[in-house]
Structure 1
Amino acid sequence: MKFWQKVFLSVLILFVVALNIGMFTVMHFTYKEQLSSVKQRAKGEAYFLRNSISKDFTNLEETSTLTRDKKETIYDSYKTYYMEQNVFLELWSGNSLIGGTFDLNIESRDELDTVDNVQNLLIREVDQEEYLFLACNLEEPYENHILVIAYPLTELTNTRKQLVQMVIATDIAITILLSVILYLIIRKLMKPLKRLSEATGEITQGNYSQEIHIQSQDEFGSLAKKFNTMSERINENINLLQEESDRKQQLIDNMAHELRTPLTSISGYADYMRMAALSEEERIHALDYIIAETKRLEKLSRTLLMIADIREGVLTKTAVSTEQIKIYIQNLFHNQLKEKQILLEVNCEIETIEASEVMLQCILGNLIENAIRACEVEGRITVTFYNHEGTCFTVEDNGIGMEAEEIAKIMEPFYRVDNARSRKHGGVGLGVTLCHQIVKVHQGELRYESEVNKGTKVIVTFTT
């Protein structure tokens, strides 16, 4: 059973029960009031008749003897009037009936057992009809005489039956009307819950961009806003996971390609050396190529391990001297710079830079190495350390430059602007990726500005 059906039935049942209890309680008290009114009327009539008949007996006894026939004559004078009012009378003298208008099949007459002139009242069903019987003694000295009055309760009973029928009919009509109104209200109130359920179903099917539009300020509106926030975050996380998965797959594919090329060359030259009769010069050339490819594989392995260490390690920063860094990079690239007659200029506008010294050496080494590859003979490379909204340094060259499309892809692992030139100088295509990871762990920013045939400028900012 659905939730709205449970709410519908629960509210309907509670209302119907409360309505019936209320209506039947009112009906019961109404009947009691009407019955009490009939009893008061009977008592009044009994009091009047008791006094009247007692006085008539007294008056008659003053002038003559009070015989049974005379008592019956006095009784008859009252009987005719009350029969027209549909009220039945009896007059008893002890256990002897003087006169009566009852034509009823009554087995027991408990009302005749009057004690101390107290009125006896009881309701008795006779021939499937209810009667109110009232019995009382006459006044002294005629207290051995008992007057019995019987009121038929047919009208009251019929009124009660009609009231019951009206209550039942009203109950049915109100229940039907309430059911329709309650159904419409609950269905309207449950629409937001239905939308939430449908949206949840969409999410289980993989549609994480599902949103709910509920214009209300109640709990459903608040729940819808939280649901949309949750759905948005789930969708963002799914997209991030998908992007990360795609990057990992691309890295694996590129790595397989990068490993296959040197391994194929090493295997080919090894087979060549084993199968062919080579001169000493040819053997040395083959060994040099094998050694060069082996070193490239070793460099690839070291770079990948460093990237993994950066992602999982803890950053330890120190105040690194820019002058020491200047000496380090001049010594590191002395032979390469001399070979291509490239001028390296290092400007230190600040004395220290807060960073990991090993990582700083690594990022500068990769950036300057890329700049050397990009420069022609007698090129120029400028490194500058300075402060601008954080600690910054730039590596600028006047080399071949890059297209805008190439700048957008340069962060991708194993991407090379010039494959032939990069492989010739031992590049593995992970330098920029490694630099990006180092800057990221320093909570910094890495930007490229480049123009074809004019050069490239790399700007690194450490914000912390």
Structure 2
Amino acid sequence: MRFAWKVFLSTVIVIAVVFAIGGFILITSFFDSALSRETDRALEENQLTKLAYESAATTYVNQGEKLTDEAVINSVSSLESSGRRGIVVADENYETVFTSTGEAADMQLMAETEADRTYRIGRTGERYEITVCCRTTVGERTVYLETSRDITSIFQEREMQFDTYTEWSIVLLLLSAIVMLAVSMFLTRPLARLSATTRRIAEGDYDVRMRVKGEDEIAEFTRDFNAMTDAVQDKMYDLENTARQREDFVASFAHELKTPLTSIIGYADMLRSKQMAPEEMFLASNYIFTEGKRLEALSLKLLELMVLDRQEFEKRRVNPRVLMEEIEGLMLPIMEKAGLILEVSAQNAVLMIEPDLFKTLLVNLIDNARKASEPGSTIEVYGHVRGRDYLFCVRDHGRGIPEDEIKKITEAFYMVDKSRARAQNGAGLGLALSDKIARLHGSRLEFKSVVGSGTLVCIRVRRAAGRRRA
């Protein structure tokens, strides 16, 4: 059953129950009030009848006569002639002495009557009446006086009220049902729109969103739903990007392996299967050696990337100036062999970093600068304090990087100049590894490059609390 129908039916049932209970209580209250008034009148009439009888019977006694049945009848007859109706008189044995109704005395009611009066509400056919009985003694003659009052009208009035209330309750209930049906449809309309939106999203329309109206719970739920959809869409895009990057990674890796392996196998087969001149043997062996070194570098870089994804590293307090001096000593022989000038400068500070990883990051940046530079040019490596951060920078004056390729250079296996990079045993993983290390330190690589003028790469690291050493 739809939620709108549940709201509609439950509301209509509640209204019907409230109407029924409320009407019953209201009509019963009016009836009880009317019945109480009629009962008081019946008791009052019985009391007046008793006083009138006692007055008439006392007259007989004062005249020296006995209260015989005839005298009692005469006394009561005078009351009937005065306008009172429904009088029954019985003696001490509950035998009827006089009746104006043609009915015998109610022996059970008289048996229950002692000093005070007793009454009972009874029904005869379609007629309701209140019968009141009292006991009185005059001249040593005890009799029971029974009076009746017709109260059929209040019972009939109650039945009419129930009928009228039932008719109007049905009318009002139908009107309420129509109103509640419209209200339930209106209140659940956002849920219907939400259901339609979820179906569209399930069909692949991930950009659709619900419109937020008002500030009630449904509006809040709509906002949460839109936020959830945004989060799911972002996660899907991230997963798609990750899957695409992995596909690109596998494709690039396969491509990087295919060419050198084919050449290595081919030259190795030539060396083992045919006689070659010494010069040709040297060239073939040298190519096998060169491609083998490149595959070795490729495997080491891949291993480092895998280790970074699966390992947590402990950061230590490090002076970047000492770190830069170690890197300078490591890279100077390589720079001299390539005919390049390496200039290193650094300010003292205290950083919380993993020194081995950070050394790998800077070495990769310097090595990339070396590959992009021509012999005789200068590579500058410097570090200085910048506010609360410490800034490491590597600048070269080489070929530069086109602007549309800067966003891609940290992707695995991406190379700006593939032929030159392969000639230098490059695999396109150095910057990917450096970017991974930078992110482990809560930072990122910042590139500025001009084609033909060179490239500047910087990384910012938050300084640790502590005094600077001179």
What is the aligned-residue identity percentage? 25
Residue in structure 1 matched with residue 36 of structure 2 by the alignment? 36
Q: Distance in 2 between matches of 1:67 and 1:6?
A: 78
Residue of 334, 337, 347 corresponding to 2:336 = 334
- Contact residue 88 and residue 105 of structure 2 kept, 8 A: no
Residue in structure 1 matched with residue 404 of structure 2 by the alignment? 405
Moved more, 126-135 or 300-309: 126-135
- Contact residue 114 and residue 136 of structure 1 kept, 8 A: no
Moved more, 187-196 or 357-366: 187-196
**Deviation digits for residues 321-361 of structure 1, max 9, x if unmatched?**
43332222112332222xxxxx4141414257845443344
- Contact residue 117 and residue 143 of structure 1 kept, 8 A: no
Moved more, 50-59 or 442-451: 50-59
Residue in structure 2 matched with residue 340 of structure 1 by the alignment? none
Partner SS for 2:87: strand
Q: Distance in 1 between matches of 2:65 and 2:360?
A: 149
Alignment of 1:22-101 (within 5 A): 22-57=22-57, 59=59, 62=63, 75-76=76-77, 78-79=79-80, 82=83, 87-92=85-90, 99-101=98-100
Q: Distance in 2 between matches of 1:47 and 1:98?
A: 19
**Deviation digits for residues 207-266 of structure 1, max 9, x if unmatched?**
666654444445444444444444433333332232222212211111011111111111
In structure 2, relative to structure 1, the CA distance for the partners of 1:420 and 1:46 (3 Å cut) is closer
5+ residue gaps, structure 1, are: 338-342
Residue in structure 2 matched with residue 424 of structure 1 by the alignment? 423
Q: Distance in 1 between matches of 2:180 and 2:452?
A: 78
In structure 2, relative to structure 1, the CA distance for the partners of 1:51 and 1:363 (3 Å cut) is closer
- Contact residue 414 and residue 428 of structure 2 kept, 8 A: yes
Partner SS for 1:284: helix
Q: Distance in 2 between matches of 1:57 and 1:91?
A: 13
Alignment of 1:350 onto 2:347: yes
Residue in structure 2 matched with residue 132 of structure 1 by the alignment? 130
TM-score of the two chains, using structure 2 as the length reference: 0.81
Amino acid at match of 1:453: G
Partner SS for 2:138: coil
Q: Distance in 2 between matches of 1:293 and 1:27?
A: 104
Residue of 311, 323, 326 corresponding to 1:324 = 326
Q: Distance in 2 between matches of 1:359 and 1:213?
A: 49
Q: Distance in 2 between matches of 1:65 and 1:7?
A: 81
Q: Distance in 2 between matches of 1:388 and 1:127?
A: 109
5+ residue gaps, structure 2, are: 464-470
- Contact residue 208 and residue 234 of structure 1 kept, 8 A: no
Residue in structure 1 matched with residue 377 of structure 2 by the alignment? 379
The Cα shift of 1:93 comes to 5.9
Alignment of 1:191-270 (within 5 A): 191=189, 211-270=209-268
TM-score of the two chains, using structure 1 as the length reference: 0.82
- Contact residue 322 and residue 352 of structure 1 kept, 8 A: no
RMSD: 3.6
The Cα shift of 1:39 comes to 2.7
Partner SS for 1:427: coil
Amino acid at match of 1:460: I
In structure 2, relative to structure 1, the CA distance for the partners of 1:156 and 1:287 (3 Å cut) is same
In structure 2, relative to structure 1, the CA distance for the partners of 1:107 and 1:448 (3 Å cut) is same
- Contact residue 89 and residue 99 of structure 2 kept, 8 A: yes
**Deviation digits for residues 58-93 of structure 1, max 9, x if unmatched?**
55674999887776566555445648xxx4334456
Alignment of 1:369 onto 2:359: no
In structure 2, relative to structure 1, the CA distance for the partners of 1:288 and 1:131 (3 Å cut) is same
Count matched residues: 455
In structure 2, relative to structure 1, the CA distance for the partners of 1:52 and 1:291 (3 Å cut) is same
